[in-house]
Chain A
Amino acid sequence: MTAPRHLTEAERHGVADGSLAPELEPTVAEHLGACTACASDVARIRTLMTRIRETPAAADSGGDLWPSIRARIEQEKVAPLHAPMSGESGRPPRFLWTVAGVAAAVVIATGMLVRRGTSSTTFDKPAPADVTMHAVAESTHVYEEEARFLLNQLELRRALMRPQTASSIDHDLRVIDDAIAELKRAIERDPNNIALRALLASSYKQKVDLLKRVGNAG
C-alpha cells in the first residue's frame, strides 16, 4: 500500500550525521544508490554540517559550558546534584533541555517573588533581594547560552527553509533582539531593578521558544 517515496527529512539527516538506526541502513543505502536527488541532498547536508562545525562559535560544545553552569547551580541548590553519568558528556542538546527546565523553574519562582515584592513596595524601587536578583540573572544567562546554541542549529536548517519562512524568523529575531538590547541598556542605568531583569529573562525565553519553533517548522 505504501507508495514509493524519497527518504524522509529525518532519514537524510540521519545518514548525513551518522545517527541513522542500524536496521534502516541497508534500505537507505540501497535507495541512495538509486536516487540521485536524495544522494545529492545528503551530500548538501554534509557540506552544511561541515561548514557549521568549522564556524567558530562559543556554544559549539555545550560540554565546555557545563562546569560553570553547574558551579552556579551548586551555589543556589537545596539538594545536591547527582554526579554526571558517564557517557552523558558530549550530548549538548539533552543537557541544555535539562538546564532549560531548571531555568524555567527559576523564572516561575522569580515571578512569584517579584509579585510579592511589588505587593508591598512600588515597582519603580523594588526591595533589595539578592537571591531573586541572582536567580533572574542566572536564568537570563542560561537562556542566552541556549539561544546561542539554537542559533547555530538555525543556520544549519536555513538552507532547507522557504524564503518567506526564513524572512519571518529573521524579522522576529530582530524584534526580540531589539527588545533585549533596550532592556540591557535600561539595566545598565538601573542594575538593581528586578522587574527589568525579569523582563529580560522573559525576552530571552521568547527568543529560545522562537528558535525551537523553527525546528518544527523547518
Chain B
Amino acid sequence: MKRLLVAAAIGAVSSSATAQKQASRDSRDIVLEARRVSPTTPLRIYGIAGSIRLVGWDRDSLVIMSQSRPRDFFFAHDPGGGGVKTGIDQYRFGVDSEHTAEDSRPFHFVVYLPKQSQVTVHSISAAIDASDVSGNFSTASGSILLRGLTGTLEVASVSGNIDVNASASWVRAQTGGGGRLLVRGAVQDVDASTVDGELDVATPTVMRGRFSSVNGDIRYASTPAAGSIFDFSNHSGAVDMALPREASAALDLSSVTGTVENGIAQARPAAGGAHSMHLTLGRGDAQMTVRTFKGTVRLRPTQP
C-alpha cells in the first residue's frame, strides 16, 4: 500500500518523477518522498542516526531516498512555516525515534533538493555529507563534510570531525571533544573553533578569519589574500603558520608564556622577543594576529 501511495505521489508530480528517475539511476534505494517544491523552500531534517547525504541539483523538486523505510519516518509540509509563521512554506522530515536516541537504528538517507534551498539538519549521530547545499548542520557525534557551491554555512558538532571544502561567503564551524576541523575550498568570512582537536586552514580565499582552540593545534598553510584580516587565538595548543615566500602580510605573533619562533630567514622582526614578534612580509597586505597563552607560535616557510 505504501508503495502504491509513493507511486501515486510520484505520478502526480511529473517533474519529480523525472528527477527521481535520475536520482535512482545508480542506486537500489527506494523513494520515500518525491515532491515538487519551489527553488528556495526550506527543509528541516531531524533525528537521523546513520548517515545523510544531501545533494543540491538544478531541479525544482525534492526526493528523499533510503534503502528501507524507517518505522518512525515522518515527512511533513508546513504551509506558511508551521508553528512559527514565516509565511514561507517549508518541509521537514526525519525519524522520530526514541527520545534518548540510545538505541536509534542507523538509516542512510540520500536527499536531492534544489540548490538554493536552505537546509537545517539536527542529527543525533549521523554522518552528514552535503554538496551544493547551504544552511545549518549540526550533529552530536557524527562527522560533517560540506562541499560544492554554497551560500552560508553554520556547522556544529559536539565531538565529530568537520571538513568544510566548499565555496561559501560565510562559514561558522565549531566542534568539541577531540573533533578535528578542516577549512578549505573557497570560503571568505570564517569563524572556526575547536576544543581539543586540531584546526587546519588551507585556503587562500579567506578575507576575514577568526580561528580559535583551547588545547588543539591550529595550522595555517596558504597564501593570505591582500586586504584580509586574520585572528588566531589558542590557550595551550600551538599555532603553526606556514607561508610562501611571496606572501605579503603584517604579522603580530605573541604568547604569554610560550615561545614565538620565526623560521622565515628573510623576515626580520621589527619588534619583539621570546614571547612576541612583529614582522612584515612583502608589502604587508594582509593582517595576521596570533595570540596564545602557553602554546608555541611558529612561523615557517611553506614546504616546497
| CA–CA, A102 and B194, complex, Å | 23
* B246 on interface, CB distance cutoff 8 Å: no
* A138 on interface, CB distance cutoff 8 Å: no
A10 neighbours in B (Cβ, 8 Å): 83
User: A206, B193: Cβ atoms under 8 Å?
Assistant: yes
**A190 and chain B: residue at smallest CB distance:** B256
User: A124, B195: Cβ atoms under 8 Å?
Assistant: no
**B158 and chain A: residue at smallest CB distance:** A217
**B154 and chain A: residue at smallest CB distance:** A216
User: A115, B287: Cβ atoms under 8 Å?
Assistant: yes
| CA–CA, A202 and B72, complex, Å | 42
B117 neighbours in A (Cβ, 8 Å): none
Partner of B96, one of A8, A119, A120: A8
B231 neighbours in A (Cβ, 8 Å): 111
User: A217, B140: Cβ atoms under 8 Å?
Assistant: yes
Given contacts A5-B72, A175-B214, contact A118 B278 (CB under 8 A): yes
Partner of B174, one of A5, A179, A183, A213: A213
Given contacts A2-B74, A179-B214, A206-B212, contact A119 B174 (CB under 8 A): no
Given contacts A115-B287, A165-B140, A199-B233, contact A186 B158 (CB under 8 A): no
A164 neighbours in B (Cβ, 8 Å): 141
User: B252, A115: Cβ atoms under 8 Å?
Assistant: yes
**B5 and chain A: residue at smallest CB distance:** A1
Partner of B99, one of A41, A183, A213: A41
* Most chain A C-beta atoms within 10 Å of own C-beta, residue among B141, B159, B236: B159
* B177 on interface, CB distance cutoff 8 Å: yes
* A168 on interface, CB distance cutoff 8 Å: yes
* A114 on interface, CB distance cutoff 8 Å: yes
| CA–CA, A124 and B255, complex, Å | 9
Contacting A at CB under 8 A, from B261-285, are 271-273, 275-276, 278
Partner of A2, one of B76, B138, B272, B292: B76
User: B102, A196: Cβ atoms under 8 Å?
Assistant: no
Given contacts A3-B73, A111-B289, A179-B235, contact A123 B254 (CB under 8 A): yes
Interface of A is mostly: helix
* B225 on interface, CB distance cutoff 8 Å: no
* A144 on interface, CB distance cutoff 8 Å: no
User: B96, A203: Cβ atoms under 8 Å?
Assistant: no
User: B273, A119: Cβ atoms under 8 Å?
Assistant: no
Partner of A162, one of B75, B124, B236: B124
B256 neighbours in A (Cβ, 8 Å): 123, 186, 193, 195-196, 199
Partner of A118, one of B141, B159, B215, B276: B276
A124 neighbours in B (Cβ, 8 Å): 273, 275-276
**A38 and chain B: residue at smallest CB distance:** B99
**A203 and chain B: residue at smallest CB distance:** B235
* A136 on interface, CB distance cutoff 8 Å: no
User: B159, A195: Cβ atoms under 8 Å?
Assistant: no
B5 neighbours in A (Cβ, 8 Å): 1
* Most chain B C-beta atoms within 10 Å of own C-beta, residue among A41, A169, A198, A206: A206
Contacting B at CB under 8 A, from A1-44, are 1-3, 5-6, 8-11, 14, 20-21, 24, 41
User: A160, B214: Cβ atoms under 8 Å?
Assistant: no
User: A216, B138: Cβ atoms under 8 Å?
Assistant: yes
B157 neighbours in A (Cβ, 8 Å): 213, 217
* A214 on interface, CB distance cutoff 8 Å: yes
| CA–CA, A10 and B235, complex, Å | 37
**B278 and chain A: residue at smallest CB distance:** A119
* B33 on interface, CB distance cutoff 8 Å: yes
A120 neighbours in B (Cβ, 8 Å): 271
A106 neighbours in B (Cβ, 8 Å): none
Quote the shortest CB–CB distance from A163 to chain B (angstroms).
Answer: 8
* A209 on interface, CB distance cutoff 8 Å: yes
Quote the shortest CB–CB distance from B37 to chain A (angstroms).
Answer: 14
Query: A residues touching B (Cβ–Cβ < 8 Å)?
Result: 1-3, 5-6, 8-11, 14, 20-21, 24, 41, 111, 114-115, 118-124, 160-165, 168-169, 171-172, 175-176, 179, 182-183, 186, 193, 195-196, 198-199, 202-203, 205-206, 209-210, 213-214, 216-217
10 contacts between A and B (CB under 8 A): A6-B72, A121-B271, A122-B273, A162-B101, A168-B158, A168-B177, A172-B195, A210-B176, A217-B139, A217-B140
Query: B residues touching A (Cβ–Cβ < 8 Å)?
Result: 5, 9, 33, 46, 72-76, 83-84, 96, 99-102, 122, 124, 136, 138-141, 156-159, 174, 176-177, 193, 195-196, 212, 214-215, 231, 233, 235-236, 250, 252, 254-256, 271-273, 275-276, 278, 287, 289, 291-293
Identify 4 new A-B residue pairs, CB closer than 8 A, beyond the known A168-B176, A210-B176. A1-B5, A124-B275, A162-B102, A202-B291
